[in-house]
């Protein structure tokens, strides 16, 4: 199994920046895609960004140009640099990984953006 631990959440004013990190441990061999999802209160969990082992990235339209996902395969860690944060970015952010077609999720980290 893969365990994912997020860090880096917090509170920031609109226009500010935060960097999330997610470290994978356990059965990390053959982890394929890693990424981030978020869930605001009362809403479904939504896709934010993903990155393949080779570095190909995808972003939700709502974060394009503001968020950057990156990955250190040697450290089994994925990062999410979030700039120009908006109040609507407030949510619990979850790390996600896919290994042999199975999903793994982190416990989530809270990001709060005040206006």
- Give tens-digit pLDDT for 51-69: 999 999 999 999 999 999 9
Contact between 81 and 70 (Cβ < 8 Å): yes
Dist CA 24 CA 6 (whole Å): 9
How confident is the model at residue 29, as a pLDDT? Answer: 85
Q: Label residue 64 left, alpha or beta by phi (over 0 means left) and psi (-120 to 50 means alpha).
A: beta
Q: Which residues, other chains included, contact 55 with Cβ-Cβ below 8 Å and sequence gap of 6+?
A: 71
Q: What is the average per-residue pLDDT within 36-60?
A: 96
Beta-carbon contacts of 7 under 8 Å, excluding residues fewer than 6 positions away, are 20, 21, 22, 23, 109
């Amino acid at each position: 199994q893969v365990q994912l631990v997020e860090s880096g959440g917090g509170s920031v004013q609109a226009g500010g920046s935060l960097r999330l990190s997610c470290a994978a441990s356990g059965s990390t061999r053959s982890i394929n895609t890693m990424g981030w999802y978020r869930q605001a209160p009362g809403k479904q969990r939504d896709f934010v960004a993903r990155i393949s082992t080779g570095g190909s990235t995808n972003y939700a339209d709502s974060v394009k140009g503001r968020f950057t996902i990156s990955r250190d395969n040697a450290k089994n860690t994925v990062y999410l640099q979030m700039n120009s944060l908006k109040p609507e970015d407030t949510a619990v952010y979850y790390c996600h990984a896919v290994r042999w077609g199975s999903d793994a999720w982190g416990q989530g980290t809270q990001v709060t953006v005040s206006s």
